[in-house]
Amino acid sequence: MSNNEIKKCDSTIIHEDVVNKVKENMPPEESLYNLAELFKVFGDSTRIRILYALSASDMCVCDIAALLDMSQSAISHQLRILKQARLVKYRKEGKVVYYSLDDDHVNQIFAQGLEHVKE
Amino acid sequence: MSNNEIKKCDSTIIHEDVVNKVKENMPPEESLYNLAELFKVFGDSTRIRILYALSASDMCVCDIAALLDMSQSAISHQLRILKQARLVKYRKEGKVVYYSLDDDHVNQIFAQGLEHVKE
DNA sequence: TGAATACATGAATAGATGTTCATATGTACA
DNA sequence: TGTACATATGAACATCTATTCATGTATTCA
């Protein structure tokens, strides 16, 4: 790297060419924000366990609560978040509401994550 | 489903067979916890932007701060979290510390996430 | 050696988030 | 119609988290 690129860090930048090039290719702010929001949904062990359970079988709220040994209210709140993120869908049968995964990507994202965790 | 499986939700469960079968196949608590912790790292737009920037080019702390228009301290704190999650690595050259992605999975997890977000 | 610079880090604070508690909604069934 | 039950939801609270501010560490160079 040439010395004339060096500037004081706090005021400007060191490698102006690199920064400019990367900046040009950055996706729109909104895309990365949405991506972070999606991963935020995956970033809670209760929701992860719900998603994993649903990848094994469709289940009603009550069963999920029993499976995870948590209150029905807590599960219902989390299902709402998963629903808003379009990660789960539901069908009603009388009083009972059955939830299931709403997206093929869920399993793939899971798999990729597990690859990293394993080691 | 047969009626003798029906129980009161708050006390027990509705579909005991399903719950038991899913419970048997649940991964160890720790695995799902670690998975959630990993996604939690992805679940912040500052870190997402850092990771995206590093997927384009290795960069020093100062340049990342300039690129994202944030303080050096804020970036350094986030890099620490990314380092602990083994998502980035670094090399020192004199005073300057260059960060880069430490895992091929990062790009793949990114890609899967973007697939879901796009629509 | 001393000044300048790039980065790291601890403490503090404001804001976000998950669970609980109480209660509302909607469906089935006697 | 009234009771029981499965689920949803709003408010409150405790905990977690991202950034700022001040300062420490390490390296270069005059």
Residues B73, B62: contact at Cβ < 8 Å? Answer: no
Q: Which of B27, B31, B59 sits opposite A18 (nearest CB)?
A: B59
Q: Which positions on strand C lie below 7 Å from a protein C-beta?
A: 4-11, 17-23, 26-28
- Residues 6 or more apart whose CB falls under 8 angstroms from that of A23 comprise B67
Pairwise CB contact (< 8 Å): B39 & A105: no
CA neighbor of B22 nearest in space, from A36, A85, A52, A81: A52
Q: Which residues contact B33 (CB under 8 A, 6 or more apart)?
A: A45
Q: Which CATH architecture has domain B28-117?
A: Orthogonal Bundle (1.10)
Answer whether A63's CB lies under 8 Å from B55's CB: no
Angle B51-B53-B55 (CA atoms, 0-180°, nearest 5)? Answer: 70
Render pLDDT for A18-27 as a digit per residue (tens, 0 to 9). Answer: 999 999 999 9
Say what the pLDDT of residue B7 is: 58
> pLDDT (tens digit, 9 = 90+) per residue, A73-89?
999 999 999 999 999 99
- Give per-residue pLDDT as tens, B12-43: 568 999 999 999 999 999 999 999 999 999 99
Q: Under an 8 A CB cutoff, do A112 and B112 touch? A: yes
* Tally of helices (H runs) and strands (E runs) in chain A: 6, 3
Here the tokens at position A96 are 């009972």
Chain B, window 4-33: residues with a beta carbon less than 8 angstroms from a chain A beta carbon: 9-10, 12-15, 18-19, 21-23, 25-27, 31-33
Is beta strand A88-93 parallel, antiparallel or unpaired with respect to B96-101? unpaired
Beta bridge partners of B73: none
* Average pLDDT of the segment spanning B82-105: 95
Give the pLDDT of residue B2.
Answer: 36
B64-79 confidence digits (pLDDT tens): 999 999 999 999 999 9
> pLDDT band for position B5 (50/70/90)?
very low
Contacting A residues, span 40-79, partner chain B, CB-CB under 8 Å: 40-45, 47-49, 52-53, 56-57, 59-60, 62-63, 65-67, 72
